[in-house]
Chains A and B, each alone.
Chain A
């Protein structure tokens, strides 16, 4: 029979530390894949873009799993401190934990920087995708004769059929 582990606050804080470490690893990987996707978009290699998208899909799945773990941990801490789980943030946890939260505070700082970096990269890649997509839309529409935008412009070309 598995021994029952008593969920003391320290146990839960340890679990939170482990989660944050995993989160940092996930963000690092995600940032790397976004950078790969950016390079692929610039160089115009759709296979590479696809591969990066698949890798990002995997990371998104892992992130959702970590979010579920986070909800459990926050719930346990909230019950221990008799507060609503929705009111907790890493900052407030660090404050309540005192000395026991020192390592969590360090990880929090590192994670914050990585999340900001991922957000920046993500926005840039999204812009590249949007611009490229618009060019493709316009080109395909012109080829098929369903012109967008200025209807005064004539579509004049010869097409080999």
Chain B
């Protein structure tokens, strides 16, 4: 780009009559009567500005310089506002970033890592007291870090608010100064003298306002300047208006100008930066930390609540979270579980409660179905209180209390039933026949003819005995059969197991027989006419061993694949089905199988059978419930029963007090068996489990995303700030270097600058595209 081409271009330009005429027109218009002297002094959106330039008869050699100076001045003011906003924002973001302390040993990431590592160590050796203390210490460390971060983030908000309140007062003072200077300038100039010094002072005051907020100043014909901030009047033709910062009902902070109904929303200046920190950045981070704390508390409590400490089942437990009366009747028991003021959700599912007789070791497990949308607090309490040797009540503080009778203990463990065939429905000693699965499409008056070695009976089913006789359950049918005195009189009884009905003799041995002789209910229940069973001396007595390793609760059904004697009949087998009804394996229990030998069938479980007979056609079957989660409703975690953590936010998160003082209360066993570490392992895996409540992220990765977002915001703001500072530098230097020798030279310079910049811009665009392409390949 040589100067020759520019000079040629300039000469052509100067030779252009239109250019000369334009310049001349502007000069002549200066004296036109009625010509408006409304001029914009400053504008934050960078629109062009001009200041009144003295009109004279001579030629002003520095005219072009003054024009360029005003444009540069407007840009400098605008950039001042942008820098002010960025500096204020950056200060807040830097503070927040420093508070996270990441990466570092004091950050939440390191503290969470220590906690999960301590759970892992405890899982290796659950009986080691030192490792339990290690868990408690790590939990307290993490709790303290959450609390301090929450407090620190709050202080950033308070800091920003304090500065906002102070700067609002400064802007008010500047407005009053501008109004005072307006009056003085009017008075001075009405006497016919230019008030250059006062105007300079006023310009300075307006520039000072633009550092705080986006300001637009317009001079009227009287020489007074009106100043608008973010579109609202700070200084009018006569008066100035106060600017105040106020706390709003939603907890945010807003700026107001006196006499205006709407908030001021600055887009630049330090006020804009402070508002973004007070209302947005620190609040967003605090909300993120609170979400993290809440989910961590809930997930750890979900894992811990079904665990059993080394001391075994509990004598009493009290929930951590209070139920809240919602309808104003001072009762919580009438509230639905879904609307009882709990911070954590209760889901539809099941809760298993086991009560242990401490003297005999006998365990009774009760399953409670929970639907939070239909079950009230009172319903739940009644069901719990109805369990033998357990009392349940809601205390005056709204918390659930559970207490076992003296000599008993309770827990919510994932207990494995080692002898699931309680009624001997698979190769038992009693004569047994089994039905198909419920529901049974019975009708009022349907009959079932039973015959045993002791006699015969005809049972008639009445609709009143069923909730819906057309969808009769196995339990209802069994109850109806057992309620009929004929049943007992012929030495029979009915049991319901896993949705099937089994008819059995009370007598055992090979002389015991039972038959479904006929009746109109036969087909509906899946019995064949004449289906019969015979008792035996030895029952097969299936025994379960191992530890269930499945991740969800499962029901396995064992059904004879043939008829014969365990360990004797060739190719005798027993099919195993899962909850979905899929056959998962066939156990070879015929010739070649040694009775009593465990056979693995699924997920860490094995089954063994004793010598005895099984028969397919009798409808024999056995069900086993394998429990991975004894509380699929999460009602324990929601109520804080057997919780590990307390609180619901980063500010109030805590370790349960009695565990803090006595870490032996920490639950590590999931099954209640000595040496079992499944609860400790579950606690250790909380950090790596994706959660739908955290958008599918784990607690670790959710926290990492908070830190990265924060860091990225701070870094991006710093980068923008540095660019704007470079722009400011350039503008100031440009302004200082304006020569103003003559109009020819200035125009040549400007034209040259323009072409230089345009050429540079073209290559910068190409460079940008090439780097983007390369970045995609790297």
- Answer yes or no: are A and B bound together in one complex: yes
Taking Cβ atoms with an 8 Å cutoff, the residues of A that contact B are 23, 30, 34, 37-38, 41-44, 46, 49-50, 52-53, 56-57, 60, 63-64, 67, 70, 89-91, 108, 111-112, 115-116, 118-120, 122-150, 152-161
Known: A129-B760, A141-B48, A154-B37. 6 other contacts (CB 8 A): A53-B759, A108-B778, A132-B734, A139-B64, A157-B60, A158-B55
The 19 sampled A-B contact pairs (Cβ below 8 Å) are: A44-B730, A49-B757, A67-B773, A89-B776, A89-B778, A115-B778, A116-B775, A124-B723, A129-B757, A134-B75, A135-B71, A142-B71, A143-B64, A144-B23, A147-B48, A154-B35, A156-B26, A157-B53, A157-B66
Q: Which residues of B contact A149 (CB under 8 A)?
A: 47-48
Q: A102 to B762, alpha carbons, bound, how many Å?
A: 38
- Determine, out of B253-261, B591-599, B742-750, the stretch whose residues face the partner at the interface: B742-750
Q: Which residues of A contact B770 (CB under 8 A)?
A: 60, 63-64, 67
Which residues of B in the span 710-752 have a Cβ within 8 Å of any Cβ on A? Answer: 719, 722-723, 726-727, 729-731, 733-734, 737, 742-743, 746-747, 750-752
Contact between A153 and B50 (Cβ–Cβ < 8 Å)?
Answer: yes
Is residue B764 within 8 Å, beta carbon to beta carbon, of the partner chain?
A: yes
- Determine, out of B38-46, B477-485, B573-581, the stretch whose residues face the partner at the interface: B38-46
Contact between B48 and A153 (Cβ–Cβ < 8 Å)?
Answer: yes
Is residue B758 within 8 Å, beta carbon to beta carbon, of the partner chain?
A: yes
Q: Which residues of A contact B743 (CB under 8 A)?
A: 143, 159-160
Q: Which residues of B contact A143 (CB under 8 A)?
A: 23, 64, 67, 743, 746-747, 750
Known: A42-B733, A125-B764, A145-B23. A160 touches B40 (CB 8 A): no
Q: Which residues of B contact A125 (CB under 8 A)?
A: 760, 764
Distance (Å) between the CB of A131 and the closest chain B CB?
5
Distance (Å) between the CB of A153 and the closest chain B CB?
6
Distance (Å) between the CB of A144 and the closest chain B CB?
6
Distance (Å) between the CB of A10 and the closest chain B CB?
21
Contact of A161 among B24, B72, B772, B776 (CB under 8 A): B24
Q: A91 to B40, alpha carbons, bound, how many Å?
A: 56
Contact between B71 and A53 (Cβ–Cβ < 8 Å)?
Answer: no
Q: A60 to B773, alpha carbons, bound, how many Å?
A: 13
Is residue B29 within 8 Å, beta carbon to beta carbon, of the partner chain?
A: yes
Is residue B359 within 8 Å, beta carbon to beta carbon, of the partner chain?
A: no
Is residue B27 within 8 Å, beta carbon to beta carbon, of the partner chain?
A: yes
Distance (Å) between the CB of A129 and the closest chain B CB?
5
Q: Which residues of A contact B25 (CB under 8 A)?
A: 145
Contact between B756 and A115 (Cβ–Cβ < 8 Å)?
Answer: no
Contact between B767 and A154 (Cβ–Cβ < 8 Å)?
Answer: no
Q: Which residues of B contact A135 (CB under 8 A)?
A: 68, 71-72, 75, 731, 734
Contact between A132 and B46 (Cβ–Cβ < 8 Å)?
Answer: no
Known: A124-B726, A136-B757, A150-B40. A156 touches B52 (CB 8 A): yes
Contact between A49 and B756 (Cβ–Cβ < 8 Å)?
Answer: yes
Contact between A155 and B47 (Cβ–Cβ < 8 Å)?
Answer: no
Contact of A133 among B20, B723, B754 (CB under 8 A): B754
Q: Which residues of B contact A122 (CB under 8 A)?
A: 764, 767-768, 771
Contact between A156 and B59 (Cβ–Cβ < 8 Å)?
Answer: no
Distance (Å) between the CB of A74 and the closest chain B CB?
8
Known: A119-B771, A119-B772, A135-B75. A57 touches B56 (CB 8 A): no
Taking Cβ atoms with an 8 Å cutoff, the residues of B that contact A are 1, 19-20, 22-27, 29-30, 35-40, 43, 46-50, 52-53, 55-56, 58-61, 63-64, 66-68, 71-72, 75, 79, 719, 722-723, 726-727, 729-731, 733-734, 737, 742-743, 746-747, 750-754, 756-761, 763-768, 770-778
Q: A140 to B738, alpha carbons, bound, how many Å?
A: 14
Q: Which residues of B contact A115 (CB under 8 A)?
A: 771, 774-775, 778
Q: Which residues of A contact B742 (CB under 8 A)?
A: 160
Q: Which residues of A contact B758 (CB under 8 A)?
A: 133
Q: A146 to B25, alpha carbons, bound, how many Å?
A: 12
Q: A70 to B777, alpha carbons, bound, how many Å?
A: 10
Q: Write the chain B residue with the least CB distance to A111.
A: B778
Distance (Å) between the CB of B772 and the closest chain A CB?
7
Q: Which residues of B contact A43 (CB under 8 A)?
A: 730, 733
Contact between A42 and B50 (Cβ–Cβ < 8 Å)?
Answer: no
Q: Which residues of A contact B26 (CB under 8 A)?
A: 145, 155-157, 159
Contact between A152 and B36 (Cβ–Cβ < 8 Å)?
Answer: yes
Known: A145-B26, A160-B59. A119 touches B730 (CB 8 A): no
Q: Which residues of A contact B761 (CB under 8 A)?
A: 126, 129-130, 133
Contact between A153 and B38 (Cβ–Cβ < 8 Å)?
Answer: yes
Contact of B750 among A116, A139, A160 (CB under 8 A): A139
Q: A153 to B52, alpha carbons, bound, how many Å?
A: 10
Contact between B751 and A140 (Cβ–Cβ < 8 Å)?
Answer: yes
Distance (Å) between the CB of A123 and the closest chain B CB?
7
Contact between B730 and A132 (Cβ–Cβ < 8 Å)?
Answer: yes
Q: Which residues of A contact B722 (CB under 8 A)?
A: 124
Q: Which residues of B contact A137 (CB under 8 A)?
A: 754
Q: Which residues of A contact B59 (CB under 8 A)?
A: 158-161
Q: Which residues of B contact A64 (CB under 8 A)?
A: 770
Distance (Å) between the CB of B371 and the closest chain A CB?
50
Q: Which residues of A contact B58 (CB under 8 A)?
A: 158
Q: A76 to B118, alpha carbons, bound, how many Å?
A: 51
Q: Which residues of B contact A60 (CB under 8 A)?
A: 763, 766-767, 770
Contact of A46 among B50, B752, B771 (CB under 8 A): B752
Q: Write the chain A residue with the least CB distance to B58.
A: A158
Q: Which residues of B contact A123 (CB under 8 A)?
A: 723, 768
Distance (Å) between the CB of A130 and the closest chain B CB?
7
Q: A71 to B330, alpha carbons, bound, how many Å?
A: 77
Q: A148 to B30, alpha carbons, bound, how many Å?
A: 19
Q: A144 to B778, alpha carbons, bound, how many Å?
A: 49
Q: Which residues of B contact A132 (CB under 8 A)?
A: 730, 734, 753, 757
Contact between B23 and A159 (Cβ–Cβ < 8 Å)?
Answer: yes
Distance (Å) between the CB of B757 and the closest chain A CB?
4
Q: A43 to B753, alpha carbons, bound, how many Å?
A: 13
Distance (Å) between the CB of A110 and the closest chain B CB?
10
Known: A38-B726, A112-B775. A154 touches B36 (CB 8 A): yes
Q: A135 to B735, alpha carbons, bound, how many Å?
A: 11
Q: A49 to B61, alpha carbons, bound, how many Å?
A: 28
Contact between B30 and A158 (Cβ–Cβ < 8 Å)?
Answer: yes
Q: A92 to B336, alpha carbons, bound, how many Å?
A: 55
Q: A144 to B22, alpha carbons, bound, how many Å?
A: 6
Q: Which residues of A contact B72 (CB under 8 A)?
A: 135
